[in-house]
Chains A and B, each alone.
Chain A
Amino acid sequence: MFFNSALFLFCFLPLALFVYYVLFRNVSTKPKNFLLLIISLVWFFMVDPILTGLLFVLTTFNIAFVRQLLAAKSKLLLLAGVLMNGIALLAYTLLPGLMKPFGIVMPYEAIPLVGILYFCHSLQLLLLSYRDDKAVHTAASSMALYLLFFPVYTAGPILSFPEFSKQAKDRSGGMADVSAGAKDFVIGLAKVIVLGQVLSFAPRTAFEALPNISARFGLMALALYLFQIYFEISGFCQMAKGTARMFGFCLPDSVDRPLLADTITGYFSRFHISVQRFINDVIMPRRKGGKKAAILGIFFFSILMSSFFGQSFGTLLFGLILFFMLLAEQWVISAFTVGNNRIANYLIHLVGFLPFLFIAAICLGSRDVPQLITFLKLLFGFGQGSENVTSGSMFMREYGPYYLAAAMAILPIGGILTKWRDRIPKLFGFLETIFLLALLVLCTLYLSGGDYLPFFAR
C-alpha cells in the first residue's frame, strides 16, 4: 500500500486523520506519539504482515541495545546491534530471490527500500547512543516511533534522530499542518501518477520492443527514463513530507532539482540530500562536507543499495557505474574545467558524462543481461531488428504536453511564483487552490484506474 494508492488516500489517510485529530483531540503529545506508532504498525501490516513482525521485533531489540549502550560503551555491543539489523533485513530482502531457484516461494514480496531505510535509522540510533548523544536520552515510544514512522518508508528521507525527537516531544499539529501537508501530498502524488506514469510509457515500450526500435527512440526513451526516475523519487519524497506534516512533523527536503546540477557529484548530492546529511552527521561526523565525504557517501549508499537490491543485477551495475563516474569526475574532469564559466563547465560535464548516465539508466531499466546488451548494441549502431521498427514520434504527438509540463516542472520557477504571489495575493491564492483541487481530481481519476507501481517497486 504505497502512498499512490486509492486505498491509502481514500481509506487509510482519512481514518488516520480522524482518529488523530478528532478522537485524540485533547490529549498530550506522548499518547499521540503512541497512536502514531499504532497507525504506523497498521500501515506496515497492510503493506506486509511479515515485515511488520520483523520490524516490531527488531525495534524492540534496538531499544534494548540503545539502553545497554547508554549504560556501557561497548564496541562489541554496537557491532552486535548493527549486525543484527543488517543480517535480519538483508535476509528478509534477499530470501525470496535466493529461494526461487529451489522452487520455494516465500509468503511475501520483499521491499528493499524499507530494508535500507530501517537499517539507516537503526544504525543512526545505535551510533548516537554509543556516542552518548543527549538526544538519545528519550522515551522508548519516541525511539520506536522514529524507527517505525511510516511516511518515510516509501522513498525516504533518512530522518535525523535529534531533530525528530525534538518534534516528537514538542509539535503543534492542527489544520495549518494538515493543509500544508495536503498541498505537498497532492503535488507529490501528481508528480508520481501523472508525470511519472506518463513519462514511463516510452521507456517501457522501448525496453519491451527491443531490438525493434530506432536508436533515436532508444535515446529519447532513456532521457525520459531519467526524468521518470526524478519525478517518481521526488514525488514520493514530497508525499512523505506531506503525510508527515499532516501529523505535525516537518521533514527536510530530500530532493533538490538534481537535473539542474552542473556536475555528476552535484546531481547525486541533490538527489539524496538526506543521505549526505546521514553520512556527514552520523557516519563521519568529523569529516563533514567536502568532495571526499560526498563520494564516500555515494559509495556507502551504492554498496547499501547493491546489497539490498542484490537480486537485481541492474541495480548492482548501476551502483558501480555511478561510483566510478564520480571518481572519474574528480580525477579527469577537473583537468578540463574552464575557469568559472558555469555554462561551459556544465556542457563539458554533460557531453562527457551523458553517455555514462544513459548507460547507467539502461542498467537500471533492463530486465536481464541480454536485454542490457541488446540496448547497448542498438545505441552504438549494432544489432537493430527488422525494418519494421517502433519509432518515438507517436509518444511526442500523444504526450508532448506532458513532456513539456515535466520540463517546466524541473525549472526553478519558485522565485517567479513568489513574486506573483506577493503582487496579486488574492488572485494567486484563488488560482493556486483551483489548481491544487484540479490536480487532486485528476489524481483521483488516475488512481481509480489502478495502482501505478514506481520503477523501484517493479
Chain B
Amino acid sequence: MEQKQKTNRTFGVLFVMVITLVLIINLLYNGGIRLVESFDPHQDAMVESGKNTDEISAQQKFKNELFLNQAAADALSELRRIPGGDFVFVDGINNIYRDTTGRLTYVCRYREMESEAASLTAFSKELASLGVPMLYAQLPFKILQGENTLVYNVGDYSNANADRLIKKIARNGVDTFDLRDVLKETDRQVAPLFFVTDSRWQVGTAFDAYLSVLTLVDREYHLCHETAERFGSDTNFALNRTEQVFLGNQGSKVGVGLVESIDAFDTIVPYARTSFLIETRRADGSVLQRSGDWSGAIMVKPTSEMNLFDTYLGADAPIIRITNQNIASKERIMIIGDDFVNPFAAFFSLNVQQTMVVNPDLYTGSVLELVSDFSPDLVLVMYNPKSFENEEFFRFS
C-alpha cells in the first residue's frame, strides 16, 4: 500500500508538473492556448462565412493550437509507422492514404452524379438565356484514370464519378473539356502532376491546363485571341523551382514521418510587364485590395504559416476580381471553381481585362446574379472530383 501510494504520488507530481509546464510554455509562446476554429485557412473561410458548418467534420471544427502542433503531428506519424503506417486516418470522411508512388491522397465516394448534372445543366441553360456561354472543364484527381496505386483495396470513384458527370451534361448540350485526358498526354511523368503532400495539382500542371484551355477558348469562343500568342506558350514565362520547401495540406495533417520527402514548389512568372488590381472579397464582406505587377499583386508574400499554394492570389476567398490594367480589350471571364483554380485563374488573367474567380463553397449569394452583374463573355466551371462531395459547389442560384 505504501509503495502504491508512493507511485501514485510520484505520478501525481509529474502530472501536475507536465500540465503546468505546457500551460506556461503556451502563455509565453502563444499568449495562451488560442481556440482557433480551424487549422486550414479554407476551413477558416468556410466557418467565417457561416456556410457548411454541418459539413465541416467535427474533428476539424475546433483545434486548440498548442505550440507543438506540427511537431506533434510529426511525432505521431512516426509512431504510426510502427504498426504499418501506409495510411493515416484523418476522419471517416476524408481519410488520407499513402499510395505506391508515395503520394498522400484522398479517395472519392461513389456518387450517381444525377443532381450535380441536373444543376450544371440548369445553370448552363440560365446562362444561355443571358447570352453567356459556359464551359465545364473537368480537373484531374490525384489518382489518375487507369491508375491503381492505392496500397489497399479501397474504393475510389473519382474518375468514375467524373466520367458519369461529363457524360450526363454532354448529353444535355453542355460544353465540356476533359483536362484529365489532356494532361496525361503531356510529357510529364504521372506522379509530378500533383504534389506529394498536398491534395492539389502542381503549379506546372495548372499552367499546362491554362495553356490547353486558352487554346480552346481562342479556337471555340474566339476570346483572348490577341494575347493567346503572347501568353499561350511557356517560352514567355520563367519557371523557378525551389526544392524541399512545401509541406502541403495533407502532409501537415499526417506529419512528415509518413512522407518520403516534402515537395518542391514552382513559381511561374511572365516575362512581360504586367499591372493588376486585385480585389478579394472576404466572407465577412470586406474587400482587400492589392495592386502592382505580377509579383506584387498576383503573388502574395508567403508567411511561415501559409500554405505555399495560396501564394497565387492568396488563400481561398468567396470572390476574387482581377483587373488586368495592360489589356485594352474589354473581355471578361468568370471562373467558378474549387481550391485548385487560383493559379489557373492567375495565368488566365493575363489574357482578359476582367477575371472573376468565384468559390461557391464560400460564396453565400447567388452565382447567377453575380453573372448578371459581371456580364462575362464566358463562364468556366472547373471542379476536381473530390469537390463533387460538396453540394455547395452545385448551388448556383
Chain A residues within 8 Å of B, Cβ to Cβ? 5-7, 9-11, 13-15, 17-18, 175-176, 178-183, 185-186, 200-201, 203-205, 207-209, 212-213, 385-386, 388-391, 393-394, 397-402, 421, 425-426, 428-430, 432-433, 436-437, 440, 442, 444-453, 457-458
Contact = CB atoms under 8 A, between A and B. Distances in A.
Contact of B91 (A17, A204, A440, A445): A204
A175 B9 contact: yes
A449 B72 contact: yes
10 contacts: A10-B19, A10-B26, A175-B13, A204-B93, A205-B92, A209-B109, A402-B83, A429-B6, A444-B72, A451-B63
B23 A15 contact: yes
Nearest to B32: A11
B393 interface: no
B83 A208 contact: no
A401 B155 contact: no
Nearest to A5: B64
B12 A433 contact: no
A169 B5 CA distance: 25
B76 A458 contact: no
Contacts of A18: 20
Given A179-B11, A390-B153, A394-B87, A429 B39 contact: no
B85 interface: yes
Given A212-B110, A451-B59, A182 B16 contact: yes
Chain B CB within 10 A, most for which of A17, A203, A448, A450: A450
B60 A388 contact: no
A200 B3 CA distance: 37
Contact of B7 (A13, A429, A452): A429
Contacts of B155: 209, 212-213, 385-386, 388-390
Nearest to B93: A208
B152 interface: yes
B237 interface: no
| Main DSSP-derived SS at the A contact region | helix
A9 B66 CA distance: 12
A10 B4 CA distance: 26
Given A433-B14, A447-B64, A176 B8 contact: yes
Given A421-B3, A432-B11, 4 more contacts: A203-B92, A393-B153, A401-B82, A451-B62
A429 B64 contact: no
B11 A437 contact: yes
B84 interface: yes
Given A426-B3, A436-B11, A399 B19 contact: no
Given A182-B11, A400-B83, A444-B72, A391 B63 contact: no
B288 interface: no
A393 B152 contact: yes
B18 interface: yes
Given A182-B11, A205-B92, A398-B84, A458 B58 contact: yes
